[in-house]
Structure 1
Amino acid sequence: MDLLTPPPDLYGRPRADRFLTRLTAIQDRYVQALGGPLLRRSPRRPLSRPAAQLQLVVTARRELIADVIELSLADPSGGQLPRWQPGAHLRLVLPSGRERHYSLSGDPADRRSYRIAVRKLPEGGGGSVEIHDTLHPGARLTARGPRNGFAFCAEPTVLLLAGGIGITPLLPMAREAQRHGLDWQLVHVGRSADTLPYADELRALDPHRVVLRTDDEHGGVPTGAELLAPAPRGAAVYCCGPAPMLAAVQQALDESPASALHFERFGAAPITDGKPFAVRLGTDGPTLEVPVDRSALDVLREARPDLPYSCHQGFCGTCEVRLRSGTPDHRDRRLTPEQRAAGALLPCVSRAAEGETLVLDV
């Protein structure tokens, strides 16, 4: 599944939040007084604690819809699994060594099994195809996590918006909202009914709170205003889906009754302010041009197809490379200032000034 840098304002509007700005300033002064880095981090930045390494076995596999399978994963010894909250994901290490992130779609109350859904993307990076082709009951793999970059805050009133496979992190949120008696609604959109996984489970939760909306029955893709129309005044919106859907919701937020937006996307946001620069593979290696509309990771993978990656969003750290020289424009949400100073770079989102050359160890 993505993560894009969240809106700078708590309510999804493109302006700085005054409260958080003041809170951060007070926090920084307090940390300086303590003489240590105990609290020195942005309140929006996800924690960078090393995720626990897990050994898992596939206990069940089923087809949800065409090209989407669900895997149930458990501890091989039958022990309890680490706790997780709605919105969390696992980082899977596949038999080939590829690493991929998948949202947990099961019930957080179930400590014996994790559940993920994987859509097969033949034109993707190969991870989903490998999972579909090789992971059957009895297969073992390593994972890290669970880790949460899309946490559910359980506000009293929530609207959950899912596009296609984007239902996976929102299904546990709907369960949590139902369990705690929140005022919640969920809208799941897709091209047709056969593209909506977990439809039966959603209806079973509460058919009066769930809307399954398909393009073929409604004359096309919904607008942001249409998606946000069910939101009660003051509702918090949680949205996961393709980039056009998220863009439409963001643009319509100010005119809607909703008060806050939390979101996760499938891939990186489009590059809108890129400048051409170059990356060099080692001091004596080839120099590769990075155009304005492509990421350094995309260009690097043409020369190094085995370069690992996952989220494309500067969040997971899978694609980290070592910077030998040059001045990068770090745009990730994972690396600490100390890691950046030591030469860590995430080429999926980081760029450089026009004409700059970044020399990398890859």
Structure 2
Amino acid sequence: MAGSRLTRDVFGTLPDGRAVERIVLRGEGGFEARIISHGAVLQALIAPDAKGGHDDVVLGHDAFAGYLAERKFFGATVGRYANRIAKGQFSLGGETVQLPVNNGPNALHGGLDGFDRKLWEIAEIDEGADPAVTLTYVSPHGEENYPGRLAVRLTYRITGPTELSLTMEARTDRPTIVNLTNHSFFNLEGATSGTPVLDHKLTVAAEHFLAIDPTAIPLPEPPRSVAGTPFDFRKSRPVGERIRENDQQLRNGRGYDHTYCLGREGKLALAARLEAPRSGRIMELLTDQPGLQVYSGNYLDGTISGKGGKLIRQSDAMCLEPHIWPDAPNRPDFPSPRLAPGEVYRHHTVYRFSVRTP
């Protein structure tokens, strides 16, 4: 319906015949978020630029076949555990849990068949002034070897003229671990612009980051100060300004692929600001999570095509993933990902867009 703040249609079909739905949420001035039920994916995010134009600013695919064929986490909801767990192993209640390993020696982003590969249920839609969609998924006890039946509830909502809010909750019937995030790849010049993000200006509100080993597991040490390192984004500077420096941590991550320690203590606050020099788009990311993974698209290698049929290459986009720190189940000195019956896991992230003014 013309002028509607929310529309719903079918985006594709799974091999077993189940429909993959798409919900479109609309803000002001052409701002638009498109969500599909497979993987609870943010399939497109349309944002205005400084000249009055509009572009999709997240990588992905124009048709569902692309998401089904390749698991690249474009826009996906990641779980049960975002990021890595060393050797896919942790102890819980005195018992050792062994997860499938799917990233070298480690478990990554929920294992072999994570939440990004599941068909979520559209539980609620809100067609009001702040349009929203709520999706749910119930992960059974033992899925990917994770203990406990985990019930997840996720809501995308337009909360401002050009602002998208994401809230997630999870409950369990026995002690488990949980760590969820959205894995969107952002290019504020446009998903099909062909312009690398290395000249985007980035600010990260963190004084410390987690140093990693060559398999991207945090080293057995406290968080390192960003001061005097290529990881210092406390003041705005281009992503690529120091990315090629002779630094062991940059070698280990093949660029930036590190968690910044935010110290939120559960309160929503500004974590990062990203600005594109040509389009003038600015994205502020607010979150209540204790960490922010900054990933400069190092492993995008041109082997697949995305929107517009364009090959996706290194640094064509970057991720800003709010979540609990990697390998936290094995690190009592890290924020805890443990969830017990009766408790509620909560995650709140806001993507706020604006444009640079002359």
Higher Rg: 1
Same fold per superposition (TM over 0.5): no
Higher helix share: 1
Q: Which has the higher contact order (CA 8 A, sep 6+)?
A: 2
* TMscore range, shorter length: under 0.3
Higher strand share: 2
TM-score, normalised relative to structure 2: 0.27
TM-score, normalised relative to structure 1: 0.27
